[in-house]
Amino acid sequence: MNDRSAQRLAKLQEALASGGTLHLRDAAEMCGVSEMTVRRDLSTQPSPISLLGGRLVMASYPGVTPVYDLTEQQSSHYQVKQRLCQRAASFIEEGDTLFIDCGSTLIPLLGQLGRFRELTVVTYALNVANAVAVLPNVRLVLLGGLFYASSQSFGSDGMGAAIERLGINKALISAAGVDCERGVSCFHFHEVGPKQAAIATAMQRLLIVDASKFGVVRPAYFASLEDFDIVVTDDERAPGLLERHPLPTLNVSLA
Amino acid sequence: MNDRSAQRLAKLQEALASGGTLHLRDAAEMCGVSEMTVRRDLSTQPSPISLLGGRLVMASYPGVTPVYDLTEQQSSHYQVKQRLCQRAASFIEEGDTLFIDCGSTLIPLLGQLGRFRELTVVTYALNVANAVAVLPNVRLVLLGGLFYASSQSFGSDGMGAAIERLGINKALISAAGVDCERGVSCFHFHEVGPKQAAIATAMQRLLIVDASKFGVVRPAYFASLEDFDIVVTDDERAPGLLERHPLPTLNVSLA
DNA sequence: GCGTTGATGTTAAAATTATAACATTGAGTG
DNA sequence: CACTCAATGTTATAATTTTAACATCAACGC
């Protein structure tokens, strides 16, 4: 609304930028206004700050957005991914070195990794890294580079080579589109390199996609269906689509 | 307390591992117990989950721990770092490519980066990367490798070389110990490589340390005081300690 | 069987947070 | 100067969360 309001928000955002929470009370004092004014700032203006039980937090930080809102329809999406990941987890064995792809599909998988005694996760996604970083039993290797906010992941020239130097056991790959003829694709071109390298080097290659991705083609092609050993998906419709596929080795696992 | 209690916690932790929040109500339903029981689980057992305004969150995630608790003595530490970083920020110019070291000292600096039109940040620390990832005006380059939880940072053989390939303008280095004779040191050996590479390649080298680090020696030596162009610190005592130093070019900036 | 005990549920009260309504202020304007 | 209007403060009320106290219940040993 106001100019001063925006300034206050900016100030608070700066204070929160490095993480942490700020009590409404302190935020108000910090800005020299009443709590009510801070509340109004927050509700009037769009802002990356959200108010959570009397505390201000950066909404963009992980660990803040709700995951399990029974009231939301988004819940069903989450449920599907949860089931998919449960199935995918059943292919993981003690001591594995996993390549975990970027995107939101594989995120629920990371919670299940706590069950193992020892694992190694290789990833080029920041959100994956954050979830793995807190697991004491999982060694984390993050492939760095230039950050792409759109996919919360990193890209660099040497990444392909770096992946191939690692002894990756199982590659867990996600996709934005899967089509029998046109193959497997994603949105962002910088994801192609790491995905292909992981597929090339891994002993076992799993594609984890929910049924909504079938029959869809996205701008960046990165593999054919035959490149995968196992496809983990959630719809009876999917196997039908896949069966037409010539490769008899294609193993479809229904979650 | 109980075995079942621990199981519930584990279940909830799993659900939260990938980030997000869970309303107490949903958590209770999920476990098939009352909200009170979940509350008791959380307060009885030590757990990485914390309850924030009726919602469960992973306490270890950034953006959750309070930063500005006026009631805590830790606040003063934060204030010092805040001042230090404010001063350090005054050396940053539009368009700079900054190397930002790991640790907690430089975290408050990241909030101030929003002021610039365009910057590039190079880092090997996960907490730094997270704070920078949300800034639309800052390009982020994360140097990956194996994750060290103790310092929230990555290490790899090639990191030194990778740093030297980048055109780093200003290196902002933190330290755990500074001594006139024994030089500048930190706790972890894997930090030595990247720090030294950044010092070697940067056009301008800033050391940012609060006064409590003076006269302290830590296991991993990584530079002499002469290697820095500017020392940003917070105590009058510090310049005294530094003045004895032979190099007349040493520039001490008091926050 | 009976009493004990620990885990859990239920309920009421207290504390905190959110919302809404109305009061105050202060700058700009005819 | 009186008026308007937006911004902010204040207060009351509603909703939610937290805490405490007491009630149940099932397992266990004697």
Q: Which nucleotides of C are covered by protein (CB under 7 A)?
A: 6-11, 16-21
How high is the mean pLDDT of chain A? 87
* pTM score: 0.87
Interval B179-187 mean pLDDT: 93
Instruction: Say how far apart CA A171 and CA B242 lie, in whole Å.
Output: 53
Query: Residue B241 pLDDT > 70, yes or no?
Result: no
Point out the least confidently predicted range of A245-249, B53-57, B183-187, B216-220: A245-249
DSSP string, B54-122: TEEEETTSTTTSBS--TTSTHHHHHHHHHHHHHHHHTT--TT-EEEE-SSSTTHHHHHHGGGSS-EEEE
Q: Å from A219 to nearest chain B CA?
A: 24
pLDDT for residue A246: 44
Query: Residue B244 pLDDT > 80, yes or no?
Result: no
Interval B38-53 mean pLDDT: 89
Tokens 């310092």 correspond to what residue?
B151
Half-sphere exposure of A10 (CA within 13 A, CB side): 10
Tell me which residue in B52, B135, B143 faces A144 most closely, judged by beta carbons: B143
Tell me which residue in B22, B53, B134 faces A52 most closely, judged by beta carbons: B53
- What pLDDT, in 10s, does the model give residues A91-101? 999 999 999 99
DSSP-derived pairing of the beta strands A230-233 and A251-254: parallel
Residue contacts between A and B (CB atoms, under 8 Å):
216
pLDDT for residue A253: 63
Q: In the structure, how far is the CA atom of residue A133 from the C1' atom of nucleotide D18, in angstroms?
A: 32
Point out the least confidently predicted range of A160-174, B26-40, B178-192, B230-244: B230-244
Instruction: Say how far apart CA A75 and CA A110 lie, in whole Å.
Output: 18
Q: In the structure, how far is the CA atom of residue A6 from the C1' atom of nucleotide D6, in angstroms?
A: 15
Contact B110 A145 (CB under 8 A): no
Instruction: Say how far apart CA A153 and CA A103 lie, in whole Å.
Output: 9
Quote the distance between the C-alpha of residue B245 and its chain's center: 29
Query: Residue B65 pLDDT > 60, yes or no?
Result: yes
DSSP conformation class of A150: G
- What pLDDT, in 10s, does the model give residues A26-81? 999 989 999 999 999 999 888 889 898 899 998 877 667 766 655 444 556 777 88
pLDDT for residue B198: 97
Contact A68 B15 (CB under 8 A): yes
Query: Residue B249 pLDDT > 60, yes or no?
Result: no
Query: Residue A217 pLDDT > 80, yes or no?
Result: yes
- Among A130-134, B52-56, B82-86, B186-190, the range of highest mean pLDDT: B186-190
